[in-house]
Amino acid sequence: MQLFSLLFMAKKRKRTLEETVRLVQDGDKTLHNELIDSYKPFIAKTVSSVCKRYIHESDDEYSIGLIAFDEAIQKYSPDKGSSLLSFAEIIIKRRVIDYIRQQSRHQNLSFDLTKEDNEDESPKTSIEEHISIDDYIKKSDDELRREEIIHFSSVLKEYDLSFSDLVEQSPKHADARKNAMVVAQILVLDEELQKLLLEKKRLPVKQLEKRVNVSRKTIERNRKYIIAISLILIGDYYFLKDYIKGVLET
């Protein structure tokens, strides 16, 4: 009888990682701890790739990675077009690099405060260390920037867009680009408009027209550019957002 029931019993569907995250975000502390424990190897591997050495759980860098992974769990949303792990990888790498920057500044300050007590010691070593750290941070930033671009490119495909489309379709004049970015900002800050964009995978032109001081014709003409800027503002794109911020502040 037991064998017979097993033959016809429906298999229990395994919970997806994204579903687990949603439960954790809703306050399931047990799942929260289990999720972090099960991905400790992933955290250590990601931190090690940044530090270029094997990282132990006792290392400060590992603790930074652990906190960053938890941050990724809390901030993650599948609507932004990436998996939890790809999102977490970016957050972990960014936080570890920020930590290395802070340590570098602290070491330089310590050297300045104590150099009078070490007049016989050549400053060359400290200068070389400072240069090597700066060089490392620059290379790490370049790597993260490339990863952002690759990830953003994959998100654009969901909207039938590509970087070549954006180059061809972006407004020619600086003022027009800035105005399109302002329209994107308004869209992102409006929960209803943002939801329409993410669910329908197209610009809600009719609804957007009612909320901005821009003609429908102008919105249509800059449709692809507005979508791209909106996706950058919605997503966790540190370097791409910095570019937008620079344009809007000019």
Mean pLDDT of 104-127: 50
Mean pLDDT of 83-105: 83
CA distance 159 to 157: 5
Mean pLDDT of 48-69: 89
What does pTM read for this prediction? 0.55
CA distance 22 to 19: 5
Token pair of 222 as six digits: 């800059």
Residue 123 pLDDT level (bands cut at 50, 70, 90):
very low
Residue 184 pLDDT level (bands cut at 50, 70, 90):
very high
Tens digits of residue pLDDT in 192-217: 999 999 999 999 999 998 988 889 99
Query: Over 90: is that where the pLDDT of 132 sits?
Result: no
Mean pLDDT of 162-178: 83
Highest mean pLDDT among 2-11, 158-167, 193-202: 193-202
3-state DSSP helix/strand/coil percent for the chain, to nearest 5?
Answer: 75, 0, 25
pLDDT for residue 131: 42
Q: How many residues does the chain have?
A: 250
Query: Over 60: is that where the pLDDT of 126 sits?
Result: no
